[in-house]
Chain A
Amino acid sequence: MKDSRLEDRDTTMNDTKISARGVQVHYADNHAIKDVDVEIQDKTVTAFIGPSGCGKTTFLRCINRMNDTIDICRVNGTIEIDGEDIYDKRIDPVQLRRKVGMVFQKPNPFPKSIYDNVAYGPKIHGLARNKAELDEIVENALRRGAIWDEVKDRLDAPGTGLSGGQQQRICIARAVATEPEILLMDEPCSALDPIASGQVEELIDELRANYSVVIVTHSMQQAARVSQKTAFFHLGNLVEYGDTDEIFTNPRDKRTESYITGRIG
């Protein structure tokens, strides 16, 4: 764990961006998330780790209300973004999801051209007044997705024809194109090879400058490499939440230690 980034990581910034209190999630009779409290900070990468089925993804999907699309899912408790309860009746999930972008586990570009993939979000939110502005937004998003140089000559080619790593970076570009403030990433590297994973990790580190990034990962090395804060989930409980180097070098809870050392999970 002698990563140079561990040392110079800036943890002084602690404006709370997302604040969850007493969050409970039920899928029908299955109690998936049990009373989770967490404060996620702005301009920070927060990693959710834990064994399969522990509720990391479920909690992540609560933050942009993607769980609304599942009929049997019930969410209790409050999740506030910038002090506003996102489960308030007055909050429209469509508007929320513009502010909270999401990258999924499996790269899922639309079966359209690369350009249309990235331009779709800005188009439906009316971010560009004309074609030139839209072109600029698309280029900026692709640059931030670290894929511009690879695709700039074939923006009309289908997004589904790219390799897995390229597709995932297109999806990241698509997510940042709508200018979100928070970026949720659900195991973004699980379908990628180590080289592509490395590219995405570098990207996440760059994105930290502008966004609050929440990433779910199964790879503890990845969590250690990219995140400043780590939350460990186990059986629906948030067991431990703190600075990443604290969690990895000096876990307070027995279960965290067992998981990190590979005894459970």
Chain B
Amino acid sequence: MSDASAPRSTGASGSLMVLDARTKKRHAAERRFRYYGMGAVGLGVLLLVMLLVSILSNGLGAFRQTVFELEITLTQAQITEAEEALLKTSVYRGIIEENMREALDAAGVGDEVETARAMELLGGDAGSTLRQWAVSQRVTPVPQPDEGVTRTFDFLADGRIDGYFKGRVTMETAELDSRVSPEELQLADTLREAGVLRIELNPGFLTMPDASENQPEAAGLGVAIVGSLYMMLIVLCLALPIGVCASIYLEEFAPKNWFTDLIEVNISNLAAVPSIVYGILGLAIFINFMGLPLSAPIVGGLVLTLMTLPTIIISTRAALKSVPPSIRSAALGVGASNMQTVFHHVLPLAAPGILTGTIIGLAQALGETAPLLLIGMVAFVQDYPDAPPEGLFDPASALPVQVYNWTQRADPAFFERASGAIIVLLVFLAIMNVTAVLLRRRFERRW
């Protein structure tokens, strides 16, 4: 009888078709672990979605604004007269009132709406907006005949009216509000139906400077964006070369002794120092000791450079360390000097890591608020800084500080502005991170 005809035995360890208890337990543990992971990811995504939904729902309104669309005709005589008056913007407001009457008539509501009442719905900055344009159109001497110039303006409506159309202000809250009455809201409804008032995209949110407490409709991010850009420029120009040079020296050239160990430990510690400490340092050194101006992007940039340096140094050193030693040996083996080895071979291979680290450091600096508060960047700044390099010493604001500033104001319209500013900040951060990823891909593709 051959073995083949013998009944098949399942062997000493039992059949493979049956799961034993131990294997079952191991599989269960694995499954549990997978669920934990899925739960963690799910929670993270949920929170992110909540954050985005809340910010977008609150902040998108800031990018649209209620405006009066008015066609204004100015003669040179009117401009001269207004510029010679003591209260120039109120004269311009008078000119707007004349044009408002024509617009109301043209819209067919001239009989039922008093022009003066309609003017109350106009935002406070309309006069100065018109004046800005008028001054740029002024011709001296006055030409004959004086034909005048015409342009269509979108004058911002008062913040309360804007809030009414966005649902922030209701008839009930208007009853209790000293700055708006239910009648005005009804008037606004009439004007909107007539097409005089409309909700338009608001480029001014990105280009206009901050405005006072009473004019939320005119508050923009212009100065804050310029200030943040200036600071990023300074951080990039200072932190990248200093950080990369420091890491190359420490990693490739410095002797390994207790002193370089000490420096290494301290750099790692500096990366963990709370940012407000850098603010105090900046206040003490750059402003009190060196006498640099308050609120200036140069000081902000220097403080943020100090804060970003450890991040850049740590990531650059990690990138340099990850270059395979065989490349170094190869270069040294054909007789390259240390510096040639580093600059011809090691640095190009480490470049993607260095760039990623730098951009992450920059993004961190862009969102940093605390140190800027200490060096006075929280001030109310209405004038744009000049072009660099002089402009670096002019007062400016910064995006995160502007958010902080606006959330502190009483008018709920500023809460919408703050959320809008957060959206702008997040867009900038997203752009920087995408750039980091793209640069990384671009450089790594070189085989």
Contact of A108 among B255, B256, B329 (CB under 8 A): B329
**Interface residue? B88 (CB, 8 A):** no
- Closest residue on chain A to residue B326 by CB atoms: A108
Q: Check A94 against B336 for contact (C-beta < 8 Å).
A: yes
What is the bound-complex CA distance between A160 and B344, given in angstroms? Answer: 17
Is the C-beta of A124 less than 8 angstroms from some C-beta in chain B?
A: yes
Q: Chain A residues near B324 (CB, 8 Å)?
A: 108
The complex places the Cα of A215 from the Cα of B434 at a distance, in Å, of: 50
Q: Is the CB of A101 within 8 A of B333?
A: yes
Check A104–B333 contact: CB distance below 8 A.
yes
The one of A109, A124, A158, A171 in contact with B335, judged by C-beta atoms closer than 8 angstroms, is A124
User: B321-356 interface mask toward A, CB cutoff 8 Å, 1 = contact, 0 = none?
Assistant: 000101111111111110010001100010000000
**Does B447 lie within 8 Å of A121, measured CB to CB?**
no
Q: Which residues of B contact A174 (CB under 8 A)?
A: 330, 334
Taken residue by residue from 292 to 315, chain B's Cβ proximity to chain A (1 for < 8 Å, 0 otherwise) reads as: 000000000000000000000000
CA distance A161 to B447 in the complex (A): 8
CB distance from B444 to the nearest CB of A (A): 10
- Please report the C-alpha to C-alpha distance between residue A94 and residue B324 in the assembled complex, in whole angstroms: 21
Q: Which residue from B333, B344, B345, B349 sits with its C-beta under 8 Å from A97?
A: B333
CB-defined contacts of B345 to chain A, threshold 8 Å: 110
Query: B335–A108 contact, CB under 8 A?
Result: no
Inter-chain CA distance A158–B314, complex, in Å, is 31
Bound CA–CA A104/B334 (angstroms): 11
- Chain B residue with minimal CB distance to A98? B335
> With A and B bound together, what is the CA distance between A66 and B334 in angstroms?
11
Kindly list chain B residues whose C-beta atoms are within 8 Å of the C-beta of A161.
447
Q: Is A178 interfacial (CB-CB < 8 Å)?
A: yes
* Assembly CA distance A96 to B337 (angstroms): 11
Bound state CA distance, A124 and B333, in angstroms? Answer: 12
Assess A124 versus B340: contact at CB under 8 Å? Given A101-B334, A108-B327.
Answer: yes
A160-B446 Cα distance, complex, nearest whole Å: 11
How far is A64 from B335 in the complex, measured between Cα atoms in Å?
Answer: 10
Name the prevailing secondary structure of the A interface residues. Answer: helix
A111-B447, A158-B447, A160-B447 given as contacts; is B334 within 8 A of A69 (CB)?
no
B333 contact set on A, CB distance < 8 A: 64, 66, 97, 101-104, 175
Shortest C-beta distance, A39 to chain B (Å), equals: 24
Q: How many angstroms from the CA of A104 to the CA of B330 in the assembled complex? A: 8
A148 on the B face (CB < 8 A): no
Q: Residue-by-residue, is A140-181 near B (CB-CB < 8 Å gives 1, otherwise 0)?
A: 000000000000000000101100000000010011011000
A120 adjacent to chain B (CB < 8 Å):
yes
B contact residues around A171 at 8 Å (CB): 330
**Given A104-B330, A108-B327, A171-B330, A97:B335 Cβ within 8 A:** yes
7 residue pairs, one from A and one from B, having the closest CB atoms = A121-B334, A108-B326, A98-B335, A102-B333, A158-B447, A97-B335, A108-B330
CB-defined A-B contacts under 8 Å, sample of 9: A64-B333, A66-B332, A95-B335, A98-B334, A108-B324, A111-B327, A111-B349, A124-B344, A175-B333
A106-B326, A108-B326, A111-B447 are contacts. A94–B335 as well, Cβ < 8 Å? yes
B350 to chain A, nearest CB (A): 12
Given contacts A111-B327, A111-B349, A121-B334, 10 further A-B contacts (CB under 8 A): A69-B332, A71-B256, A97-B334, A97-B335, A102-B333, A104-B326, A120-B331, A124-B334, A124-B336, A178-B335
* Contact mask for chain B residues 271-304; partner A; CB cutoff 8 A; 1 contact, 0 none: 0000000000000000000000000000000000
| A252 interface contact, C-beta 8 A | no
Shortest distance in angstroms between B202's beta carbon and chain A's nearest beta carbon?
Answer: 50
A161–B340 Cα distance when bound, in Å, is: 24
Distance of B419 from chain A, by nearest CB (Å): 47
Smallest CB separation, A168 vs chain B (Å): 12
